[in-house]
Amino acid sequence: MAKNVPLFQRFFLQPLMPQFRYSEHYYGKRDKLKSAVDINKSLLNYRHLLAGVDQLLGSIQRKYSDHIVCHKGCGCGCRNISIFPVEALSLAVALQALPEAVIAKFRSRAASASFWDCPLLEDRACSIYAFRPIICRTHGFPLQTIYKERSSIGYCRYNFKDMSSIPDDAIIDLGSINDTLRGINAAAVDELAHILKLSDRLSIAEAVRLGSWEAIRPGCQKAMKPGGNANLFA
C-alpha cells in the first residue's frame, strides 16, 4: 500500500461479517418466508454498515473540517451510478415515505435518466440524503483503492488543496468497506431470492422503479403466491 492506513479504518467493519451474515428471522424460518417477507429486516445489516461508515466519515470531517469543502448543493459527483441490490432496495423503501406526487416525479425522471442525471437530485441536493448509497457517502473523501496490486488514492480536487499530502488518518480503505458491503448484499439477496431476482448491479434509476413494486413498503409483509418470483431488471 502506498499509505499506512490505520487499522481501525481497514478492519473496523470486518467483525460485522460473522455475526450479521443472516438476520435473526432467517435461520429456521425459511418455510415461513416463502409466504411472507419483511424487506426491512433484510436491510438491517446494511443499515448497520451505513451507521459505521457515517461514524468514520464524521470523524474525518470533524478533524479536517478546514480542508473539506463538500457541502449541500454541490452535486458535482451526483450521477445515475450503479449500486448493489441491497442498496437499491434501501432506496426503494425510503421512497415510500415520500408523498405520492414526489414519488411520481422521481419515477418520471428515472424513466429517461442518463448516467449524468441522478433522478433523486433536487436543486443539486439529494432528496433522500439519509439513505444515499455508500459510494455517494464517501464521494470526495480520500479513498484508497487497489487495482492490479497497485494502490491509489482519489479525492475531490477541491478538498485538501492547501496540504502537500493527505494525512494517513484521513484516508479511507474503500476495499474493506466494499468487501463488507458485498457480503451483506449476498446475504440479503439470498434471503429474498424466493421473491426477488435482481441483476448484480442496478442503476439509481432502476432503484427508483423498484419502488413501484407492491411489496416494497416500510414494515410491510407481502403474501406471495406459491412459486411466485418477481424478476426485476434481471
pLDDT one-digit tens code per residue, 29-44: 444 433 345 778 889 9
> What's the confidence (pLDDT) of residue 28?
42
104 CB neighbour count, 10 Å cutoff: 12
> What's the confidence (pLDDT) of residue 176?
92
3-class DSSP state for residue 147? strand
> What's the confidence (pLDDT) of residue 14?
47
Q: How confident is the model at residue 211 (pLDDT cuts 50, 70, 90)?
A: low
- Per-residue pLDDT reduced to its tens digit, 73-108: 787 778 999 999 999 999 988 888 889 899 899 999
DSSP strands (E only) in 67-220: 82-83, 121-122, 125-126, 143-147, 150-154, 172-173, 196-198, 202-203
Percent share of the chain, pLDDT over 70: 74
Average pLDDT score, the chain: 77
